[in-house]
Copies of this chain bind each other. A is one copy, B any other.
Amino acid sequence: MATNEIIKPYVIGLDLGGTNSVFGIVDSRGEIKATTAIKTQGYEKVEDYVNAAVEALNIIIDQVGGIDTIKAMGIGAPNGNYYTGTIEFAPNLSWGHSGIVPLAEMFSKRLGGIPVGLTNDANAAAIGEMTYGVARGMKNFIVITLGTGVGSGIVINGQMVYGSDGFAGELGHTTMRPNDGRLCGCGRKGCLEAYCSATGVARTAREFLSTSDEPSLLRDMNADDITSLDVSIAASKGDALANRVYEFTGEMLGESCANFAVFSSPEAFIFFGGLTKAGDLLMKPLVESYNRHILPVFKNKAKFLISGLEGSSAAVLGASAIGWEL
């Protein structure tokens, strides 16, 4: 290792979400040394967004000793293409929905030419788990992110799977119910995401409420206002219907993992994101369903883990980990 490598102890991580962009400066043990944030939206042009970002970033870069202490930057962003460092037609970004934005290159130019890598948030989570989390030392695993959508990051032979075009690992859009499935945001029917995302969980609750007369705390609410958080609160109070919503969600996830296992036979499935707070409520039916559906040769092989990375900083850590890979 050259001397000038040794004196660059930090990487920048950017968790670029639909609402907020959170930055962190991280050391090699995954300790976040400084953070800052800006709004993601409200900029007409991507140049304005990058200007605001660099302005905020420079303050924390100075706090840790200046740009010479920064080895690289990693960005986790919707519709991020690792191969090109671009964000491509991201429907939820005001400055990124209608074209291809070379965001990695733009940040690199503004940050003294440091290498900048970019991928989607689920891939960033997988790299984060491999670098700082429960997947340290694993060569074959799948991270499934359970948030507003269902994302995934796949690692095979110790490498992220980006596929031929940079967009591999969209397991939220595998078809679970081909004939009578729920309509998904992608325009297709029966996707995993339509069942096992936060919105999918709320949808399941509404379905269960409308197809039974079972008493439930959730009946005190306007059905359209129910969120996965409400279901989780009701479940924690012992609400039977809310518990069955998690059971159903876990069963669907277990069934989907049985299909994923025949593809890459991972050592572990790692779950990440808000819904994992349900713990055993979700994980117990998930593992039971997996064991019912899995091809015998794979039985009792894969581990089922919940991400151990700190909730609020996990996405930033994941993004920063891309920096170490560059």
Closest B residue by C-beta to A292? B188
Q: Is B167 within 8 A of A298, CB to CB? A: yes
Structural contact, B255 and A169, CB atoms closer than 8 A: no
Across the interface, do A164 and B293 meet the contact criterion of CB distance under 8 Å? no
A164 touches B177 (CB 8 A): no
Tell me, in angstroms, the Cα distance from A183 to B165 when the chains sit together.
36
Which of A174, A177, A260, A263 has its CB near the most chain B CB atoms (within 10 A)? Answer: A263
- Decide if A267 touches B156 in the complex (CB within 8 Å): no
- Given A174-B259, A178-B176, A178-B177, residue A164 in contact with residue B296 (CB < 8 A): no
Residues of B within 8 A of A291 (CB): none
Partner of A164, one of B139, B174, B188: B139
A140 within 8 A of B: yes
Per the bound structure, the CA–CA distance linking A167 and B163 in Å amounts to: 21
Q: Kindly list chain B residues whose C-beta atoms are within 8 Å of the C-beta of A263.
A: 154, 161, 168-169, 171, 174, 260, 263-264
Contact with B along A129-167 (1 / 0, CB 8 A): 000000000011000000000000010110101111111
Given A188-B293, A188-B295: A140 touches B156 (CB 8 Å cut-off): no
Give Cα distance in the complex from A193 to B262, angstroms.
13
Interface string of A293-315 (1 = CB under 8 A from B): 10111100110000000000000
Which of the listed residues A161, A167, A177, A262 has the most CB atoms from chain B within 10 Å of its own CB? A262
A258 contacts partner chain B, Cβ-Cβ < 8 Å? yes
Q: Judging by beta carbons under 8 Å apart, are B255 and A295 in contact?
A: no
Tell me which residues across on chain B come within 8 A of A1, comparing CB atoms: none
Q: Which residue of chain B has its CB nearest to the CB of A89?
A: B297
- A187 at interface by CB-CB < 8 Å: yes
Query: Residue A168 contacts which of B79, B188, B264 (CB distance < 8 angstroms)?
Result: B264
Q: Is the CB of B140 within 8 A of A175?
A: no
Q: Is A266 an interface residue (CB 8 A)?
A: yes
A165 to B301, alpha carbons, bound, how many Å? 8
In whole Å, how far is A261's beta carbon from the nearest beta carbon of chain B?
8
Given contacts A176-B178, A255-B175, contact A161 B264 (CB under 8 A): yes
Asked if A206 is at the interface (CB within 8 A of a chain B CB), the reply is no
Instruction: Indicate if A186 sits at the interface (CB-CB under 8 A).
Output: yes
**Nearest chain B residue, comparing its CB with the CB of A302:** B164
Instruction: Assess whether A175 is in contact with B266, with CB atoms less than 8 Å apart.
Output: no
Residue A170 CB within 8 A of the other chain: yes
Q: A157-B157, A164-B302 are in contact. List 6 more A-B contacts (CB 8 A).
A: A156-B157, A157-B161, A168-B264, A171-B263, A175-B258, A263-B263
> A interface vs B, CB < 8 Å?
79, 139-140, 154, 156-157, 159, 161-171, 173-178, 186-188, 255, 258-260, 262-267, 293, 295-298, 301-302
10 CB contacts below 8 A, A to B, read A156-B161, A157-B157, A163-B265, A164-B301, A167-B265, A168-B265, A186-B295, A188-B293, A188-B295, A259-B259
